Amino acid sequence: MGKKNKLKKFRDNLTYPNIYQNFEPKYPKLVKGEDIEVDLKGKWAAEHFNNHHPIILELACGRGEYTVALAKAYPHLNFIGVDVKGARIWQGATQALEQNLHNAAFLRTRIEQIHLFIGEEEADEIWITFPDPFLRESKDKKRLTSSRFLDLYKKIIKKNGILHLKTDSGVLYDYTLETLDQYEGATILYKNDNIYAAPLAYPELEFKTHYEREHLEVGKTIKYIRFTIN
């Protein structure tokens, strides 16, 4: 049943108007539906959203819960959830369609290839919500706040554009602070290793993903860093 359910989601993804996919990383082209090749790099607002509103990315969006919540709360902004797993983004894309959230779209690709599909300074903000912390030091370069990835984000985010990290991992939180401290042009605007210990500093932090709720249920604290990388 699980395999059949996943295959159904993959079929649905081919019919959804709010999903774009890169099926083969070695051949980085963007496809809508089964075989309609599209080029939205630098043109997401005008050619998909049909407006000129700011664009906010959620990287490693998983089920797309944060993308959907933000899109519902801020209808004057455009949101793109990015993840490599098609069965995951199906959930967010389905919810967005059911709720008529025309300002939410989903991009299936590897994060390390994000610059191939998002144009230079096209993103106004970037959210990184509960990514894999890659706890082994040997895999620290895979962390989405490593200098390797910051270099990528710098290509696609506007000057003074805000980046957000929300995580339950103390290792990733500390690592990110250390990385930003050494990264040229990085400025930490706000940091908090327990955001729910006091009134929230920013209202958009109140949205919770499935994994965040699980973390809270077992007593983990939620951490947040707000920064720029000019």
Mean pLDDT of the 116-120 span: 98
Chain centre to alpha carbon of residue 154 = 15
In a domain, 54, yes or no: yes
Range of the domain at 39: 2-22+29-163
Pick the catalytic residue from 39, 132, 151, 174: 132
List the alpha helices (DSSP H) in the chain.
2-13, 65-73, 86-98, 147-156, 170-182, 210-217
In a domain, 153, yes or no: yes
**Tokens, residue 91:** 């959930």
Annotation says 35 is catalytic = no
pLDDT tens digits, 178-212? 999 999 999 999 999 999 999 999 999 999 988 89
Number of Cβ within a 10 Å radius of residue 28: 13
In a domain, 141, yes or no: yes
In a domain, 168, yes or no: no
Indicate which CATH number applies to the domain containing 101.
3.40.50.150
In a domain, 210, yes or no: no
Q: Return the pLDDT at 28.
A: 87
Beta-sheet pairing, 123-129 with 55-59: parallel
| Closest listed residue to residue 91, CA positions, set 221, 210, 214, 229 | 210
pLDDT tens digits, 131-173? 999 988 788 899 999 999 999 999 999 999 999 999 999 999 9
pLDDT tens digits, 41-86? 999 999 999 999 999 999 999 999 999 999 999 999 999 999 999 9
Q: How many residues does the chain have?
A: 230
Number of domains in the chain: 1
